[in-house]
Structure 1
Amino acid sequence: MTFKELELKDLILITPNVFGDDRGFFMETYNKDAFYKAGLTMEFVQDNHSKSAAGVVRGLHFQNAPYAQGKLVRTTKGSIWDVVVDLRKNSPTYKQVAKVLLDDKNKCMLYVPEGFAHGFVSIEDCEVQYKCTNLYHKASELGIKWDDKDLSIDWTIKNPLVSTKDQELPYLRDIESILNF
């Protein structure tokens, strides 16, 4: 595996070694030793799997500290633009946005550290799997409205399918004072 820090501090793109032939392929999606050598010493405690139709926007979701979650995200079917926002007030990339293409062809994974809001838009029908560093904690669940004008996120599609729950999320400026990262 190769590990590359992206434009937002501590956001890591992981490219696995894929061994393929006419039968299919094999790859490691997590290797504790490789992650530790790259400085990623987190422990994963929960795995999630979602399926989305083309044109769905999910997010931007996060859990406030002390229940913050780091996420190791990968697409096992289809393709997504994975979108993250750094919410760590002491970070040099605070309130900055990154967008990364994850798909079943490049097989890349994205490590999204604790203190980031996370979401994605499905470019085509897709399945996304992610490992989390903390368990789901409903009382700490927060989010930012997907079309927050202050963040100016280019979701790359018009008229996305967005859940009622995500449509009702607040803008970042309205919750900034309660962030604990």
Structure 2
Amino acid sequence: MRHDGDVRVENTELEDVLLFTPEPFRDGRGLFTRTFDAQIFDDAVARRACSGRPVRAADFVQDSQSRSVRGVIRGMHCRSGDGEAKLVRCARGAIYDVLVDVRRTSTTFGRKQAFRLDDVSFSHLFVPPGFLHGFQAITDCDVCYRIDRGHDPTEDLAVAYDDPSLRIEWPLPVSAVSPRDASAGSWEALLRCL
């Protein structure tokens, strides 16, 4: 763990995945917090020898936001080709965020890790290219994504959120999934595509 100004940067159990947690300034009016700092991001990534495609703050080209009701699952998604790096944070509410490493050359290939992201800790997760990503809304929530490539639907890949090979233990009963997520393929099918 390292403190960069008012942002704590932590390694995770998954190779190249970082958790950034700002330390808000609080007073009688409420709080103020940093949600992104390009220099802190670049310094943190540069200190680590990334096993995949390097990502710099200037590479982020799109910000997106989703709104979900409690119990919704979105995922498990990834991109083919050069993959997709993203910074994920929960701007309102709380989510159970899950990553699975699909990079065959990674020391953590096939491993998963879950994170709680919420509007209390303000943590945001750096997801490098080559990871399945999905989340369940623990509360009604808004999730923000900063992405390093424009969306190309022809590169979309997905694995069923309830695939028995992944053994993800979602914290709540599932209230809804998209038709795409409901018909997503298996872990074994994804491995044949990579």
Fold conserved between structures, TM > 0.5: yes
Q: Which residue of 2 aligns with 1:37?
A: 43
Cα distance in structure 2, aligned partners of 1:2 and 1:105: 15
3-state SS of the aligned residue for 1:85? strand
Q: Which residue of 1 aligns with 2:3?
A: none
3-state SS of the aligned residue for 1:161? coil
Cα deviation 1:150-176 (Å, max 9, x = unaligned): 110011112331111101000110121
* CA RMSD in angstroms, aligned pairs only: 1.1
Matched, 1:4 2:10: yes
User: What TM-score do the two structures reach when normalised by structure 1?
Assistant: 0.95
Equivalent runs, 1:91-106 vs 2, <5 Å: 91-106=106-121
Aligned residue-pair number: 178
Contiguous gaps of at least 5 residues in structure 2: 1-6, 47-54
Letter in 2 for 1:28: R
What is the aligned counterpart of 2:133 among 106, 111, 118? 118
What is the aligned counterpart of 2:72 among 56, 64, 81? 56
Contiguous gaps of at least 5 residues in structure 1: none
Letter in 1 for 2:90: T
Cα deviation for residue 59 of structure 1 reads: 0.3
Cα deviation 1:10-60 (Å, max 9, x = unaligned): 111111121111212111111111112112552211101000000000001
3-state SS of the aligned residue for 2:160? coil
**Highest RCO, 1 vs 2 (Cα 8 Å, sep ≥ 6):** 1
Instruction: Show structure 1 runs of 4+ deviating over 4 A.
Output: none
